[in-house]
Amino acid sequence: MATITSLDEVRDGKRAPDGFEDLPPIMSAPKLAEHLELDPKTLERWRKTWPNGDCTGPRFSKAPGTKLYRYYRRDVLTWLDEGLMEEEKPVVAATGQNINA
């Protein structure tokens, strides 16, 4: 996987993880689900987590008065980058020691 050196690179669209270089600038939920190899119902379920603050999936926009949801490339890449950073965070035991070391 490509190394992302800063969140700014992701937000600016300069760099994307391997396999996401061709991500369009704006996508419908079905198109994003296709890119992420997910069932579109998964994105729908994730969208429902946003109002209660869980924020499971990437940020999205909804056109007023419609059921049209759109995902921006920068938000998807930021979300992917945040997931990468979560995986790389050290696990710290209750004693305050890094148990991954």
Which residue from 31, 32, 3 is spatially nearest to 16, judged by alpha carbons? 3
Confidence of residue 9 (pLDDT cuts 50, 70, 90): low
User: In the chain, what are the helix, strand and coil shares in percent, each to the nearest 5?
Assistant: 35, 10, 50
Rounded Cα distance, 61 and 63, in Å: 7
The pLDDT, as a whole number, for residue 3 is 46
Range scoring the smallest mean pLDDT among 21-25, 36-40, 56-60, 89-93: 89-93
Task: Read off the tokens for 48.
Answer: 């429902």
Q: What are phi and psi of 12, to 5 degrees?
A: -80, -5
pTM here?
Answer: 0.66
Which residue from 98, 91, 59 is spatially nearest to 75, judged by alpha carbons? 59
CA dihedral for 92, 94, 95, 96, sign (positive or negative): positive
Q: What are the extents of the domains in the chain?
A: 23-87
